[in-house]
Amino acid sequence: MTFTEKLRRLTEDRIKTKICRRAGLSANAINDYVSKGYLPRIDTAVRLAKALEVSVSWLIDDTKEWPPEWEAARGATNAA
């Protein structure tokens, strides 16, 4: 799953401007990444990952699939 696909899914039910503000990005940054397929610099990817509460390695690694690592970890914790 690509960075763009992950970002789209992570933000589809959230207020993008709020996430951008937390990440220190312009209000339209997420829309540009999703609609135009732009890839962020690593420092921006780190800030986005923190704002979205996922690991940066999961967010930028195209070999990692859905769900985000925090969801998988939460599911494992709840199952125990």
* Helical axes 16-23 vs 42-52, angle rounded to 10°: 120
Q: Residue 80: its pLDDT value, please? A: 47
- 53: tokens are 């509460």
Task: Give the pLDDT confidence of 29-75 residue by residue, as tens digits.
Answer: 999 999 999 999 999 999 999 999 999 999 999 999 988 876 655 54
Q: Residue 27: its pLDDT value, please? A: 85
Look at 20 and 72; give whichever has higher pLDDT: 20
The predicted model gives 72-79 an average pLDDT of 48
- Domain 3-79: CATH superfamily is lambda repressor-like DNA-binding domains (1.10.260.40)
- What's the predicted TM-score (pTM) here? 0.81
Domain ranges of the chain: 3-79
Q: Where are the alpha helices (DSSP H) in the chain?
A: 3-11, 16-23, 29-36, 42-52, 56-60, 69-79
Task: Give the pLDDT confidence of 1-13 residue by residue, as tens digits.
Answer: 999 999 999 999 8
